[in-house]
Structure 1
């Protein structure tokens, strides 16, 4: 590992301080925003086409852009991935997870909201998803990331009759 500021070799993996320039290096979680789009006891899932976890069921969402609030990221990602405008409802929760990228296991802070479709016609971005399906909240498939499984369990418990 090398210092991102001066390029000097680090004595250990972050968190650490560079001996050459005193830059403090951390591995902080990357925030995400995801809408759990619900309708009549069901939720909308998409099948991933990209790694990690290509072929697994996913929820529409993704990483925040610089200085973007996770709620705004959830709305943006639904528009980009599904062509839909969504309205966010109740905050479901934040979950610490991992994301495999460039041979690293990165920490993520996944933020979930209940959501409904506000406008638009569903059209998948083929670079993101190959298909979509409405699944019952009471019986979801295993999702691409464990944080999604946990958030869906919480939503199912909250919305159970």
Structure 2
């Protein structure tokens, strides 16, 4: 899937509205504006309880009904670590304590008919007490899974993050 508007003659410069000759990265022939398609950063959590991690069942597309890690897109100029803590609070209804950085993974996210590049940044985390209260717009359930036997997750970047945590725990 090509990002909508950038794969055809219907793609226009956001500065001067001239038709673009190619998909990003490209330069507008009309005004010289350079257009790029950069990945959107996210902050995600691998919430641990011993040798188990927390997964949520997605309520919405893409991937409704599949298991996922808590997290989401960064707000403008928000650090991925801050986004991970905010998303944990919003999706779980409790505070999380951020641990070490797991890694960054380049992936895709289909939204509004576009395939967006994302840069998923994952952090280890633990819950800071309280009872989990899921946001029903985000998740329909939760489950603790063994790191040694995870289910397929909604996005390959999440599978990679869990595999990295499992590798670190073995080593």
Q: Same fold (TM over 0.5)?
A: yes
Q: Displacement of 1:59 after TM fit?
A: 0.5
Aligned to 1:76: 86
Give the structure-2-normalised TM-score.
0.91
Structure 2: give runs of 5+ residues left out of the alignment: 1-10
The total of aligned residue pairs comes to 161
Aligned to 1:108: 118
Separation in structure 1 between the aligned mates of residue 111 and residue 12 of structure 2, nearest angstrom = 18
Separation in structure 1 between the aligned mates of residue 130 and residue 35 of structure 2, nearest angstrom = 43
Q: Displacement of 1:55 after TM fit?
A: 0.8
Separation in structure 1 between the aligned mates of residue 15 and residue 139 of structure 2, nearest angstrom = 37
Separation in structure 2 between the aligned mates of residue 120 and residue 27 of structure 1, nearest angstrom = 41
For the pair 1:60 / 2:65, whether they are aligned, the reply is: no
Aligned to 2:58: 48
For the pair 1:5 / 2:5, whether they are aligned, the reply is: no
Separation in structure 1 between the aligned mates of residue 14 and residue 53 of structure 2, nearest angstrom = 41
Separation in structure 1 between the aligned mates of residue 138 and residue 112 of structure 2, nearest angstrom = 18
SS of aligned partner of 1:119: coil
Separation in structure 2 between the aligned mates of residue 21 and residue 119 of structure 1, nearest angstrom = 55
Separation in structure 2 between the aligned mates of residue 130 and residue 6 of structure 1, nearest angstrom = 44
Aligned to 2:145: 135
For the pair 1:156 / 2:162, whether they are aligned, the reply is: no
Q: Displacement of 1:47 after TM fit?
A: 0.5
Q: Displacement of 1:35 after TM fit?
A: 1.1
Q: Displacement of 1:42 after TM fit?
A: 0.3
Aligned to 1:18: 28
Structure 1: give runs of 5+ residues left out of the alignment: none
Higher strand fraction: Structure 1 or Structure 2?
A: 1
Separation in structure 1 between the aligned mates of residue 95 and residue 83 of structure 2, nearest angstrom = 12
Aligned to 2:5: none
CA RMSD of aligned residues (A): 1.0
